[in-house]
Structure 1
């Protein structure tokens, strides 16, 4: 679970970077305000993925602690 959570966390941050890069490429969007132009649904999906990956990492740490 720890490994799965780590991979999901990496994928989530990659999605966030791609979304911000795409927003910056739109005409009239300044790089300072790029995150404000990312669609709210994308922000919600990324937030859910961050919470889920944090949960998986926490569960993975719990299993590692129980092995000792």
Structure 2
């Protein structure tokens, strides 16, 4: 992800069924790094259970990751 240059880094998460704490933490860190550059990390088609796990770290209102269908 560090070599991408667009304003939005989009990950198609449709096939992700499970994410553990290390994956959650890595995505949060990457989203924050991108945010410092004026960019965003977007997970597209994420399953509800994956979104729920990503929200647990900082709460839905503070999650630095955007979600879209």
Query: TM-score, normalization: structure 2?
Result: 0.39
TM-score where L is the length of structure 1: 0.39
- Identify the structure with bigger relative contact order (alpha carbons < 8 Å, sequence gap 6+): 1
Considering fraction of residues, name the structure with more helix: 1
Q: Which has the higher strand share?
A: 2
